[in-house]
Structure 1
Amino acid sequence: MSKIIGRALSQILHCKQLTSIDSSSRLYGRWMHRDPGKIMLPFESKSKVNLKKEKVIDIDPEILNKPKEREVDSTKINKKTLEVSSKINNIEKSDKIKKNREDKLKKRAFHLSQCKVFDDNNEIIFEKVKENDGRISNLLVNLKSKKARNSSGQVLVEGWRLIVDGLEAKCNLKYVMFSRKEDLNNLLPFLPSKGVKFYKMPYKQITLWSDVETSPGMLGVFEIPSPDNVRSLSRPLPLQFICDNIRVPGNLGAILRVAVGAGCEKVVLTKGCVDLWDPKVVRSAAGAHFRLPVYNSVEWADIPQHLQQDTSVLIADSNEKVLHDNSMDSMDEGCVGMSIPVLPYYGIEYTSLKHITLIIGGETEGISNDSYIFAAKKNGLRVNIPLQRGVDSLNTGMATAVIAFEIRRQLIQAWTREKLERIGVNAT
């Protein structure tokens, strides 16, 4: 009996130990997610352990939820206020931009109505024009014909250089059509403060109205200057030209260019010459129209009114033949020119002449009978340029340059000698 009782007691104790171990393991598994200071097991010896106590504050969940709602509400309010403020700022900015635009347009319209060239910022005021604008097309079409030019009193020039030449000569510039804004910088020092309208148009549109293969991209419209308003930039020589039947535009432009370069007083064009303001003449003359008085389409009966009384008439003639019979009555009109004596251009003492009038004929028509008769009445001379064999004549513009600069050379040498004699220096 004693043995049976002992076994029962040992089984009971063993079962208690197992239950205690299972309970401790269960408790340990529940608190695995925390960081314990120390794990106490039932089979360890009891010891004093210093564990840190955490302060636990009990908070009502309702209190925790209230501030969250407030924060959400406050963020919504802040977003709404920011959106409203941004909208207000955008409206204010757009209003300012609109006002600035309106002010600029008003100022621009005022400046355009006053025909002002520069705005308050000293920039050129221009108007952008679309393709095939009626105002520009009508203006340029009229300026392409001779009758419309004469009736309107306006002429078309191409390129900023010719526009500058006209502005330097104090001619009235009315319109400027351009494609690039940078090209206007070449005109800035010469532009007036009022009276010029600027139009910005596509380059393709300008090329349609250009007479050049590669257009410079700028067109100008001037009032045709009268001969009395044109002023030469320097003291002219006592020399003037009469152009007789010059019908090639390039030749007339070259003669005008020589006249300005040599320092002539004026040029007279007889009736039958090419139009003075033809685009090819204007382009080949390189601004001579604005620097020299030119009288266009003058009848031979009115020629004496444009000459001085003591002038000596010379005819640039390539013909060297001379008739010795000088009687005007027994001579045909075709032989009048043969009776006028001919000399090489360098064989005349031009300094002995008070004033010189040089008559220049065209290459195709030559010297007219009216020129020969006029020179014969004035006891004139024919001037010839000797050439090598095989060459009949020179270009009209080239021949004019040869004779004109020989006259200039002799006159300047004579003036320098007189000046040196006044000073007391022996001229060599």
Structure 2
Amino acid sequence: MSLNINRLFSQMYACRTIVSSSRLYARWMNRDPAKVLLPFDEKSQSSLKKEKVISLNPDDLSKKNNESAAVKNAAPSQFPPQKAKEIKTKREEKLKKRDFFLKQCKVFDENNDILYEKVSTNDGRISNILVKLKSKKDRMRLNQVLVEGWRLIVDGLEAKCELKYVIFSRIEDLNNIRPFLPKSGVKLFKVPYKDMALWSDVETSPGIFGVFEKPTVNNVRSLSRPLPLQFICDNIRMPGNLGAILRIAVGAGCEKVLLTKGCVDMWDPKVIRSASGAHFRLPIYNSIEWDEMPKLLEENTSLFIADSNTQIDNRNTTLEKENLITGMTIPVIPYYSIEYTSLKHITLILGGETEGISEDSYELAANRNGLRLNIPLQRGVDSLNTGMATAVIAFEIRKQLLQLWAKDKKERMLAS
């Protein structure tokens, strides 16, 4: 039995040898030599490229390893002992200076290079900062806000808001905010990009976070003279809608925005991202009770409600509650039929898509002889998105006011 098994293994080995030889032969047949040299051809002159032959002798290999180790060990001693000591001393002094500047929250060193601390993935300071600023309760307690992206950080610095921390992963992003950074008072941390992606609210993280003290209505920076226009946001609960309204308010040149109690938190990360820096360029009053609203309105303001409801009841002129809730006692007209240039000041009330216009808004408009503005739409379309409706009405107001100002300027130039 054992003899048959041995004979079987020997046959299998022979077959394997034949197959491997045929493979090698097939590979050799596919080669394309540059030139065939014949040993009996004396006239053939060829210039062959000489290749370096690697010696596999164990003695030669050990000799080369010893030589490389000797060179490696001798590298640090290429300087004299005194010179090496001076280099070490300078390096220690530089590290001490850097640590001192970091403790003092200095942003730049004596060579005007940005100072930052490189932290590891498991550093608890970064997670502690970001966890707290993701919570509305902790944001209010700390009076701080988190922004994402170098453009929003620049907007905050231009508005003279106090920057507390910068968390980044790439030096390029840090260089974008370099001209706007203060000389001290900011701590900068460099973390791996994968950590930034974990904390980011977007699919592709911009790679840089900024932590500011919450700006107040007094330190926001308006880049131009605002229009006599303000918004009242009535129970806007969707972050994207509120961010869009704030962005439109800045673009149209609003004076300020009033947020009633019940609106989404204006410092929600989604609101900040969709507002694109409006928080730092526009006075925003948050969580206003309706009892306090008249105090924040201009005395001679004209009040309008952006309302998709076109129903009106002219038969009843009394402010009964059932009519007041639906606003049917307040006239409704197309938004473009009003001469806004004849008004001293304009207040526009905007309602949420879910709840709509509240009873308090209708009551305020009725007490101030307000009007409801409607945007005529194609048949079969009920209403527009809150942000889109705001843009349509706001930029109609802006167009009329700018045309009036341009006309007055032209007349003054002709008169002079």
TM-score (norm 1): 0.77
Distance in 1 (CA, whole Å) between partners of 2:325 and 2:78 is 96
Residue 231 of structure 2 corresponds to 241
Give the match for residue 191 of structure 1.
181
Q: 1:87 to 1:405 in 2, by over 3 A?
A: closer
Number of the residue aligned with 2:414: 424
In 1: Cα distance, 2:321 partner to 2:109 partner:
71
Give the conservation status (yes or no) of the 8 Å contact 1:342–1:382. yes
Q: Label 1:335 to 1:201 Cα distance change in 2 as closer, same or farther (>3 A).
A: closer
Q: Runs of 5+ in structure 2 lacking a partner?
A: 1-72
Report deviation, 1:332: 2.1
Distance 1:119 1:326, change over 3 A: farther
Partners of 1:159 and 1:219 within 8 A in 2:
yes
Q: Distance in 2 between matches of 1:149 and 1:159?
A: 19
1:210 matched to 2:225: no
**CA separation in 2, counterparts of 1:400 and 1:204?**
39
Q: What residue in structure 1 maps to residue 355 of structure 2?
A: 365
In the alignment, residue 167 of structure 1 is paired with which amino acid? L
> What is the aligned partner in structure 1 of residue 56 from structure 2?
none
Same amino acid, percent of matched pairs? 69
- The count of residues paired between Structure 1 and Structure 2 equals 343
Q: In 2, are the aligned partners of 1:250 and 1:280 still within 8 Å (CA)?
A: yes
RMSD over aligned CA atoms reads 1.8
1:304 equivalent to 2:294? Answer: yes
1:140 deviates by: 0.6
What is the CA–CA distance in structure 2 between the aligned matches of 1:311 and 1:188, rounded to whole Å? 43
Contact 2:117–2:189 (Cα < 8 Å) also in 1:
yes
Asked if 2 retains the 8 angstrom alpha-carbon contact of 1:336 and 1:373, the reply is no
Confirm whether residue 413 of structure 1 aligns to residue 403 of structure 2: yes
1:395 aligns with 2:381: no
Residues of 2 paired with 1:94 and 1:376: CA distance?
A: 85
C-alpha distance in 1 between matches for 2:95 and 2:325: 72
Aligned residue number for residue 275 of structure 1: 265
Shift of 1:327: 3.1
3-state SS in 2 of match to 1:376: helix
Candidates 326, 329, 332, aligned match of 1:342: 332
Which residue of the partner structure matches residue 126 of structure 1? Answer: 116
Q: Which runs of at least 4 in structure 1 moved beyond 4 Å after TM superposition?
A: 333-336
Residue 143, structure 1, aligned to residue 95, structure 2: no
1:374 equivalenced with 2:374 (yes/no): no
The structural deviation recorded for 1:94 is 3.5
Report what 2:244 is aligned to: 254
Q: In the alignment, what sits opposite 1:230? A: 220
Match of 2:161 in 1: 171
Structure 1 residue 91: Cα displacement: 3.2
- Note if contact 2:324-2:363 (Cα within 8 Å) is conserved in structure 1: no
Q: Select 1:313's aligned residue among 303, 306, 328.
A: 303
Letter paired with 1:370: D
* CA shift for structure 1 position 90: 4.7
User: Does residue 100 of structure 2 align to residue 110 of structure 1?
Assistant: yes
| 1:273-326 Cα shifts (integer Å, max 9, x gaps) | 000000000000000000000001100000111111000100000011111134
CA contact (8 A) 1:320 1:342 kept: yes
Distance 1:333 1:123 in 2: 67
Which residue of the other structure, out of 305, 313, 328, is the alignment partner of 1:323? 313
Tell me the distance in 1 between the aligned counterparts of 2:242 and 2:286: 12
Distance 2:268 2:389 in 1: 22
1:332 aligns to what SS in structure 2? Answer: helix
Per-residue displacement from partner, 1:392-416 (whole Å, max 9, x unpaired)?
1111111100000000000011111
User: Partner amino acid for 1:216?
Assistant: P
- 1:326-362 per-residue CA deviation (whole Å, 9 max, x = no partner) reads 4335442654511100111100000011000000000
Change (3 A) 1:94 1:315: same
Per the TM alignment, residue 98 of structure 1 is displaced from its structure 2 partner at its CA by 2.2
Letter in 2 for 1:239: L
Q: Which residue is equivalent to 1:9?
A: none
Cα distance in 1 for partners of 2:269, 2:205 equals 13
Contact kept? 1:333, 1:369, Cα under 8 Å: no
**Offset at residue 96 of structure 1 (A):** 2.4
Tell me the distance in 2 between the aligned counterparts of 1:326 and 1:125.
71
**Which secondary structure state, in structure 2, belongs to the residue aligned with residue 231 of structure 1?**
coil
Q: Is the 8 A contact 1:245 1:273 kept in 2?
A: yes
Q: TM-score, normalised by structure 2?
A: 0.79
Structure 1 CA distance for aligned equivalents of residues 378 and 78 of structure 2:
90
Question: Is 2:281 the counterpart of 1:291?
Answer: yes
**Range 112-121 or range 123-132, more displaced:** 112-121
- Cα distance in 2 for partners of 1:415, 1:150 equals 42
2:348 is paired with a residue of what secondary structure? strand
